């Protein structure tokens, strides 16, 4: 009985951290599907979003929900500007130019954050901090649950957005065939900037959800490496795939920490990633593509 409780705890923790990885991976995948660019600064945008929320809630004293929502909007606007001002200029350059560019941007973001907010970890009061909930005799942290619930809600919102709204359908079209979308009158470049905006907003949400569990600090973008594992498992083309991938990585990590000797937990996600790439590189839910020569 106790063992089952322990395992359930691990699963919930793993699912929670997995949701965060999945959210960051979601940001990667959204941008990659549309523009074939990989945003290596995604984790750092999450960090900036978290700090923005911190500033709004702690410095300006706004209530949690208002501050959080405002932070998401501000971060989304930042993502939009990033694409419109910087990323648009590198269309046509090979893929690793974009990799290097976003890596460089990550450096700048981290330095700017360090200057603005300092290098210590900060946190802010959320309705879920240090609260627990009792489900059938099992005590679970509300912070972890909030992550899972928040992620599920976001997925529903995104699903409805992409399938039911005109803008969402236009985004799907632009992702699949830019030229055809242009001919249909879809403003492709604006759409791509909007996709960056959504991606940034999702990253900010991830940061906000994460803050009760692990504080916000300049280097929290390092989680992005684990998000890569999530995205790869999901096949890098599929939104539900990224989340499932994230949850898998999160849960495997938790069990690794439990069963393996100390210090091996951190390497788990990398091993899973390499393993996936070697055994089934197209991920679990992949599209197969070929080229006509």
Angle between helix axes 224-233 and 265-279 (nearest 10 degrees) is 30
Nearest-approach distance from CB 105 to other proteins, in angstroms: 6
Q: How far is the C-alpha of 113 from the C-alpha of 111, rounded, in Å?
A: 5
Q: Is 293 in the site for other proteins (CB under 8 A)?
A: yes
Q: Is 32 in the site for other proteins (CB under 8 A)?
A: yes
Q: Is 160 in the site for other proteins (CB under 8 A)?
A: no
Q: Is 106 in the site for other proteins (CB under 8 A)?
A: yes
Q: How far is the C-alpha of 245 from the C-alpha of 238, rounded, in Å?
A: 10
Of 174, 212, 179, 218, the C-alpha closest to 196 is 174
Q: Is 114 in the site for other proteins (CB under 8 A)?
A: yes
Q: How far is the C-alpha of 11 from the C-alpha of 1, rounded, in Å?
A: 15
Nearest-approach distance from CB 290 to other proteins, in angstroms: 7
E strand or H helix at 267? helix 265-279
Of 56, 34, 11, 16, the C-alpha closest to 204 is 56
Segment contacting other proteins by CB under 8 A, of 46-54, 76-84, 207-215, 284-292: 284-292
In the complex with other proteins, the residue whose CB is nearer, 7 or 115, is 115
What's the farthest any 2 CA atoms get from each other in the chain?
Answer: 62
Among 111, 152, 167, 260, which residue interacts with other proteins (rule: CB under 8 A)?
A: 111
Q: Which residues bind other proteins (CB under 8 A)?
A: 32, 35-36, 38, 86, 89-97, 99-101, 103-108, 110-112, 114-115, 119, 225, 228-229, 232, 236, 263, 266-267, 270-271, 273-274, 277-278, 281, 289-293
């Amino acid at each position: 009985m106790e063992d089952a409780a322990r395992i359930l705890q691990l699963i919930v923790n793993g699912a929670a951290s997995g949701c965060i990885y999945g959210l960051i991976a979601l940001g990667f995948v959204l941008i990659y599907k549309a523009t074939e660019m990989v945003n290596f600064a995604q984790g750092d945008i999450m960090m900036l979003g978290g700090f923005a929320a911190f500033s709004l809630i702690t410095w300006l004293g706004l209530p949690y929900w208002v501050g959080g929502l405002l932070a998401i909007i501000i971060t989304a606007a930042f993502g939009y500007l990033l694409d419109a001002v910087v990323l648009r200029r590198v269309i046509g350059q090979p893929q690793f130019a974009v990799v290097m560019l976003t890596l460089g941007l990550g450096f700048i973001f981290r330095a700017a954050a360090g200057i603005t907010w300092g290098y210590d970890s900060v946190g802010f009061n959320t309705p879920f901090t240090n609260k627990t909930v009792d489900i059938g005799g099992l005590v679970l942290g509300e912070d972890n649950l909030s992550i899972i619930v928040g992620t599920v809600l976001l997925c529903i919102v995104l699903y409805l957005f992409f399938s039911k709204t005109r803008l969402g359908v236009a985004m799907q079209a632009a992702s699949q065939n830019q030229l055809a979308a242009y001919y249909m009158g879809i403003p492709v470049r604006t759409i791509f900037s909007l996709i960056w905006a959504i991606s940034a907003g999702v990253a900010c949400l991830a940061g906000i959800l994460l803050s009760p569990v692990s504080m916000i600090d300049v280097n929290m973008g390092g989680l992005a490496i684990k998000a890569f594992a999530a995205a790869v498992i999901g096949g890098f083309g599929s939104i539900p795939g990224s989340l499932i991938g994230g949850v898998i990585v999160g849960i495997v990590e938790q069990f690794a920490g439990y069963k393996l000797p100390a210090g091996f937990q951190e390497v788990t996600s990398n091993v899973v990633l390499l393993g996936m790439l070697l055994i089934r590189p197209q991920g679990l839910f992949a599209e197969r593509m070929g080229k006509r020569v």
